Amino acid sequence: MTENKNTPFQIGEVTIPGRVIFAPMAGVSDLPFRLLCHEQGASLVCMEMISAKAITYNNARTADLMETSPAEAPVSLQLFGCEPETMTRACRMIEDRTFDILDINMGCPVHKVVANGEGSALMKNPSLIEKMVAAAVEGTSRPVTVKIRRGFEEGSDNAVECALAAQQGGASAVAVHGRTRAQMYSGKADWTCIARVKEALDIPVIGNGDIVDGPSALRMMEETGCDAVMIARAARGNPWIFREVTSYLTDRTIPERPARRVIVGMIMRHARMLCECKGERIGIREMRSHAAQYLTGFPSAARVRNMIVKVSTLRELEQILKKEYPYAAQ
C-alpha cells in the first residue's frame, strides 16, 4: 500500500493538517495570494517578513502586512530583527493579532537586511540565534519557529549549529533552505544539510529548496527525513502546485494541470482580490508581476507580458486577456 506522506503533524500546540507549506516571500505572500494557496491545498501559509523594530514604531505599513483572514488558518507571522529586547517587545505588541505561529527570519539574503545584521547574517552568530528565539518565546504565547539557510557563505555550512541554537532557545520547528546566503537563489540546493539538521534535532524540520512538483517533494522527504516541505518560488503564478504536491504525497497521483481557461480565470480573480485588499492603483501595479508568472507557457506570452506591465486598471487587464486569449477568457 502507498504510504500517505501528507498526514497532520504538530508545531508546538498547533496542528498542521498536512505536510506542504507555502513559504514567506516579500512582495508575494500577501493575504490574497495566501488565500489562493491555502485554497489549493497549502497546509500552512506564511506572511511576508515584517520588521520587529517597525512594529515597535507602530508603522502603518507594517500593520497592513499583518492582516489575516480566518479562511487561511493556520497562518504563520514572520518577523526579522537582530535585537532580542526589540523582538520581545514586538511580540508582546502583536499578541492580540490573529495568527497561529510566530517565525523568525534568519535566512533572508538581501543586502539591506544582511547589512543590518538581520536575516541570514544571524547565522554568523549562533549564540545570538539562541537569544533571539528565547526573546520571542518570552514575548508570545504562540509556537516560535525559525527559517535558516545552509550557511552564510560557501565553506561555512553551519545549519546544524544554528538549528541546535534555535532549539535550545525554545523553537518548536526549524525550516532549512538548502542554499547558502552567497548563493542567494541560484545554483542547486543542497538537501544533505537538511538531513543533517533533521538527524540532530528533536523538533520538526521543514525542508526548502528546489521543490517544483510532487516527485521532488517526495524525494526531499525520503532523502532528508524532513517532516514537511516548504514551497516558495515554484508557487508564483502556480497556486495549483499545492494541490499537485499534496495529491502526490497522499497517494502518488498527479492531477491534470489547469486548463488555460482556468488560469486566465485565476489571474482575474487574483487581480480582483488584490484590488479589494489594497485598492485598484496598488493592486493592479502588484498584479503585473503575478500575471507575468501565470502566463508561463501561453502562446505569445512575452508580447502579452509587455502589454500587461503597462496596465493601470482592472478593466485594462481584463480587456487584454479577452483579446489575446478569447478561447480562455470565458
What local confidence, expressed as pLDDT, does residue 85 receive?
Answer: 97
* All domains of the chain in start order, with CATH: 9-251 (3.20.20.70), 260-324 (1.10.1200)
Distance, in Å, from the CA atom of 17 to the CA atom of 140, rounded to the nearest integer, reads 23
What local confidence, expressed as pLDDT, does residue 267 receive?
Answer: 96
Beta bridge partners of 102: 77, 144
Distance, in Å, from the CA atom of 83 to the CA atom of 68, rounded to the nearest integer, reads 26
Per-residue pLDDT of 96-120, as tens digits, reads: 999 999 999 999 999 999 999 999 9
Sign of the C-alpha dihedral, residues 219, 224, 230, 235? negative
Average pLDDT over residues 152-180: 94
Looking only at the bridges linking them, the beta strands covering 173-180 and 44-46 are: unpaired
What local confidence, expressed as pLDDT, does residue 224 receive?
Answer: 98
Instruction: Give the chain's mean pLDDT.
Output: 95
CB 218 within 8 A of CB 246: no
Per-residue pLDDT of 8-61, as tens digits, reads: 999 999 999 999 999 999 889 999 999 999 999 999 999 999 999 999 998 888
The answer, yes or no, to whether residue 330 has pLDDT greater than 70, is no
> Using alpha carbons only, how large is the chain's radius of gyration in Å?
20
Average pLDDT over residues 125-130: 96
CB 162 within 8 A of CB 129: yes
Looking only at the bridges linking them, the beta strands covering 9-11 and 14-16 are: antiparallel
Return all residues near 100 (Cβ < 8 A) that are at least 6 apart. 14, 73, 74, 75, 76, 142, 143
* 132-to-89, 144, 169, 216 alpha-carbon distances in Å: 12, 10, 8, 33
The answer, yes or no, to whether residue 249 has pLDDT greater than 80, is yes
Per-residue pLDDT of 301-315, as tens digits, reads: 999 999 999 999 999
Per-residue pLDDT of 146-161, as tens digits, reads: 999 999 888 789 999 9
Neighbours of 30 (CB within 10 A): 20
Does residue 108 carry a catalytic annotation?
yes
What local confidence, expressed as pLDDT, does residue 127 receive?
Answer: 96
Instruction: Give the active site residue among 46, 82, 108, 193.
Output: 108
The answer, yes or no, to whether residue 79 has pLDDT greater than 80, is yes
What local confidence, expressed as pLDDT, does residue 192 receive?
Answer: 96
What local confidence, expressed as pLDDT, does residue 144 receive?
Answer: 98
User: H or E element: which one contains 237?
Assistant: none
Return all residues near 161 (Cβ < 8 A) that are at least 6 apart. 126
**How many degrees, rounded to 5, is the angle at CA 289 between CA 37 and CA 116?**
85
Q: Which of 227, 196, 188 is nearest to 44 (CA)?
A: 227
Q: Which of 66, 189, 53 is nearest to 118 (CA)?
A: 53
What local confidence, expressed as pLDDT, does residue 329 receive?
Answer: 56
Average pLDDT over residues 261-278: 96
